[in-house]
Structure 1
Amino acid sequence: MRALDELLSDPPDLPVVAVLDQVARAAASPGASLVLTAPPGTGKTTMLPPALACALAGGRVVVTQPRRVAVRAAARRIAALLHEDVGGSVGYSVRGDSRTSPSTRIEMVTPGVLLRRLQRDPDLPGIRAVVLDEFHERQLDTDLALALLLDVRAGLREDLVLALTSATLEAERTGALLGAATGGGPVRINVPGVLHPLDVRWAPPPRGAEAMGVSGPDGRIGVRREFLAHVARTVRATAAGTHGDILVFLPGVREIEQVRAQLGMPGVDVLPLHGSLSPADQDRVLSGSDRSSRRRVVLSTAIAESSLTVPGVRVVVDAALSREPRTDVARGIPMLVTVPASRARCEQRAGRAARLGPGVAVRCLAEADWARRPIQSRPEIQTADLTDALLQCSAWGSPGMSGLSFLDPPPRGALEAAGSRLRSLGAIDEGGRATPLGWRLAMLPVGPPAGRALLESAPRLGTRRAARLVALLEEGIRAPGADLGTVARRAARGEGDPALLSRIREQARRLERLADPPDGRAPATTRGPSPSEEEALALVAALAHPGWLARRRPGADRYLLADGMGAVLPPRVRSPARSGSPSPSSSAVRGAPTA
């Protein structure tokens, strides 16, 4: 094994190494704060944590990464440099999976894991420094984690070292926020980029193949098949004139599968990379452990935008689309929408091609359209559902997210809608303070509605069954024919997609442990006949989303949801009412996913 100080004395050839002495000097001051700006590929994720760990004698350095796949990849990369297995000097913790030991000095985590750790023990015992990596992505959990950490610094841990890595466009504002909250300006360190030459090309779609439009027979607006065919043609044409592996950015799993089906390329391995894959499948792509002499085309969602280096990539093909959270405040419906990717995101993606040598980046849009793109994506705190964030703040002792330092304030309308939902769940009182139920919900690794369903259905269904159905519901599955009941029955028998079943089992085991009351006693079980799988799912769905309850409109397969929205079942699905079972809950379970 190789000690951390030995790694720093003989580091890999990365641009960030030039500033590690500055990092060490800054961290030597108790309660220091740092803002480090660096373009992709400079090695900040790999070398900043060891530099901090060596500068701070004893204690642990916790580093957040925006996605679970990045958490594991970063831990694996640093451990490899130390000639160790993950779980020794370097470990990680994500939802449902942790590999650490008493000897762990650097721990990679997701922001959600850090948030719940802060809630359990704000003192953060044994932790000397926290690094919020890729802060410029402005994920809601990362913004919230920074706000709570600054509160901890002000009242409990003046010695806690905070470090943020950020794109240059956010660095000034981020530094000002840290200075105002801590009473002293942070140390700002800039890592100059040493990227290889990058050839940026443009591949605009032909007329009739624009990116967004009607994408199916139901009239839904989405990414058009014609555009995805254009992306596939662009990949094939680009492959003919380049060398090295190709990384293709697409907005979601559906688009990945459609492009994959059109990429019959002899002698080339076409591989998906997205969050729905099993950790083992993700790690194989990122580690290159299954590499052969064949060229690879990796079709990826945004998880490969930053923090990750996909081995062998010299070419990027970018669909220039992004899937981002939005909330219909009036109806309280969170959703993911596909939008044109910002220039900052496209530039991050293009940088993947020039990490290992001269690269090529092809953007599937016209160069004239580039100027109309937004410079930065909107931060999630301004667009996403705030229900869980508001509950976290209420449990922290900051009702209404007040008294905390945010880079951008949460919108008033979204806060009011989130507060209304939490009061209806009994999670906060009229003053916005967390109730005992709300505090328990804040500790669960699911949103408040799903947490409420877990805790309230467990006495009726049994904790194990309730946990399994909540885990299934949280997957957001688009059930064939909108029949989620059939998916639940098949999953209970162990049938279906192995990766999906593995995620459900893993999450269900964790939820089962966390559902037990604080006094350690098993929840009292309600007597009565055991409900069927579909009835049990209907109960869980109704507790989590009472707005999904529906009544069939007379004489039609259309439904009126309890929240006032309309819903319709696919034509091939037989109406429950017409089959002689007009159960509102059954209708809700079958119809809600298509609402």
Structure 2
Amino acid sequence: MPRQFDTPLPIDAVLDDLDRTLDRHNAAVLVAPPGAGKTTRVPLALLDAPWARDKKIIVLEPRRIAARASAERMAKTLGERAGETIGYRVRFGSKVSRATRIEVVTEGIFSRQILDDPELNGVAAVLFDEFHERSLDADLGLALARDAQTGLREDLRILVMSATLDGARVARLLGDAPVVQSEGRAFPVETRYVGRKMDVQVERQIADTIATALRADAGSVLAFLPGAAEIRRTQTFLSERVQDPSVEIVPLFGALDASVQDRAIAPAPKGTRKVVLATSIAETSLTIEGVRIVVDSGLARVPRYEPDIALTRLETVRASRAAVDQR
């Protein structure tokens, strides 16, 4: 039976079912809505399973900030610090030790790990979080893990987790693996559509919308923009419109230092509000406490491979429906 936790989360309702499923099968798919707690609760719940005893669980995250934040959150749940029972490995930094049982890694790190050790010795399970993002590294990692499972390690467990994924399709890729569904906990969301003015910069419109939202509603704001340049420009425009000293405006994107990212996702101090200007980095595996308002530009910056020149370029496109639902 999975361990018990002090703070209840929606995902708790299916942990027993998931435990039984992975006891009988070596692959499964978990579909749970955003905020259910799958990222930080499922690895801890599986840690005491008989098949995981004295072995590691590897959790794959699509982004460095999500890997660090989820590891820190799980370690805090156990009353520890990252690097003890819970550790992480990301580009430009890691916190692991001999005592580490759960290792949170980015997808590119895992690809190198399994290429160096195809049998994944000492690893009980590989958990693919937020798999709906479908990056090349995630797809390659799943293919390599499945190859190791079918050819070398029948006892290796593979769990694919997502909030917006069609679980049945991925289950077929895993040999008709069982699908566990969490209903989660939904709260009413009011959607207000602000029409796009094509003759006005998107950054100015976002700044105006945020300023209006701050005047109309309480709570902190999370705004999605396609890239760092748009975030910087929006930050400048917003600083001109919002003079309240109790409102802190902070950026959040991948190239920032870890300390700046941590400041962005930390709860706003009592009596203050926060406006987080983020790229799609904040879509998955992160919950920023105190946010009641989300302003979405509806745009995302994605890599596009150009076969004629054999190079990959970044292109600004409309965000997918799955991404917008996740936001």
Q: TM-score range by the shorter chain?
A: over 0.9
* Counterpart for residue 22 of structure 2: 27
* CA-CA distance at 1:263 after TM superposition: 0.9
1:45–1:74 contact (8 Å) kept in structure 2: yes
> Which one has a larger percent strand, Structure 1 or Structure 2?
2
- Secondary structure class of the residue paired with 2:238: coil
Name the residue aligned to 1:317: 295
Partner of 2:266: 287
Partner of 1:120: 116
Q: Please point out which of 95, 100, 107 is paired with 2:103.
A: 107
Residues 271-323 of structure 1: CA deviation (Å, up to 9, x unaligned)? 000111101111122233x7352211000011100100112111100000010
- The letter for the 2-side match of 1:305 is E
AA aligned opposite 1:47 = R
The letter for the 2-side match of 1:205 is: R
Write the distance in 2 (CA, Å) between the matches of 1:137 and 1:168.
9
Which structure is higher in RCO with an 8 Å CA cutoff and minimum separation 6? Answer: 2
| Match of residue 257, structure 1, among 217, 232, 254 | 232
| Runs of 4+ displaced beyond 6 Å | none
The answer on whether the counterparts of 1:23 and 1:51 sit within 8 Å (CA) in structure 2 is no
The match for 1:448 is none
Distance (whole Å) between structure 2 residues aligned to residue 12 and residue 144 of structure 1: 35
Matching of residue 152 in structure 1 with residue 134 in structure 2: no
Shift of 1:207: 4.8
- The within-5 A match list for 1:473-492 is none
TM-score for both structures, normalised by structure 2: 0.95
Cα shift at 1:206: 2.7
Shift of residue 257, structure 1, vs aligned partner = 0.3
1:138 to 127, 134, 139: 134
Name the CA distance, whole Å, in 1 between partners of 2:138 and 2:181: 21
Q: Which amino acid aligns with 2:323?
A: R
Q: Deviation per CA, 1:60-106, whole angstroms, max 9, x where unpaired?
A: 10000000000000001111111101111111011231111111111
Residue 201 of structure 2 is aligned to residue 206 of structure 1: no
2:258 maps to amino acid: P
Q: Could you say which residue in structure 2 is the equivalent of 1:95?
A: 91
| Aligned-partner Cα distance in 1 for 2:22–2:101 | 15
Of 1, 4, 15, which aligns to 2:10? Answer: 15
Give the aligned residue type for 2:13.
A
Contact between 1:34 and 1:162, CA under 8 Å: does it hold in 2? yes
In structure 1, C-alpha distance between the alignment counterparts of 2:6 and 2:23, rounded to whole Å: 20
The correspondence of residues 382-397 of structure 1 with structure 2, limited to 5 A, is none
Letter in 2 for 1:13: P
Aligned to 2:309: 331
5 Å-filtered alignment, 1:339-418, equals 339-349=317-327
1:530-575 deviation line (CA, Å, top 9, x unaligned): xxxxxxxxxxxxxxxxxxxxxxxxxxxxxxxxxxxxxxxxxxxxxx
Q: Distance in 2 between matches of 1:11 and 1:71?
A: 23
Picking from 235, 241, 248, the partner of 2:210 is 235
What are the equivalent positions in structure 2 for 1:52-91 lying under 5 Å apart? 52-55=46-49, 56-91=52-87
* Rounded Cα–Cα distance in structure 2 between residues aligned with 1:287 and 1:86: 17
1:328 CA drift (Å) = 1.3
Pair 1:145–1:256, CA change in 2 (3 A): same
State the distance in 2 between where 1:96 and 1:295 align: 31
CA distance in 1, matches of 2:126, 2:206: 40
Deviations 1:104-151 (A, max 9, x none): 111100011110011111111111000000001101100000001111
Gaps of 5+ in 1: 180-184, 210-225, 350-595
Deviation at 1:43, TM superposition (A): 0.3
Selected match of 2:31 from 37, 52, 60: 37
Q: Partner letter of residue 339 of structure 1?
A: V
**Structure 1 residue identity aligned to 2:190:** D
Cα RMSD of the aligned pairs, angstroms, is 1.5
Please give the alpha-carbon distance, in whole angstroms, between the structure 2 residues aligned to 1:197 and 1:93. 37
User: Contact 2:29/2:179 (CA < 8 Å) preserved in 1?
Assistant: yes
Residue 223 of structure 2 aligns with which residue? 248
CA distance in 2: counterparts of 1:96 and 1:273, whole angstroms: 18
Any stretches of 5+ residues in structure 2 without a counterpart? none
- AA aligned opposite 2:30: L
Overall identity of the aligned pairs, in %: 42
- Whether 1:194 and 2:185 are equivalent positions in the alignment is yes
Provide the TM-score with structure 1 as the length reference. Answer: 0.53
**In 2, Cα distance between equivalents of 1:176 and 1:228:** 43
Q: Is the 8 A contact 1:325 1:337 kept in 2?
A: yes
Aligned partners of 1:346 and 1:100: how far apart in 2?
34
SS at match of 1:248: strand
SS of the aligned residue for 2:312 comes to: strand
Aligned-partner Cα distance in 1 for 2:163–2:187: 19
Deviation at residue 343 of structure 1 after TM alignment:
1.6
Name the aligned partner's letter for residue 301 of structure 1: T
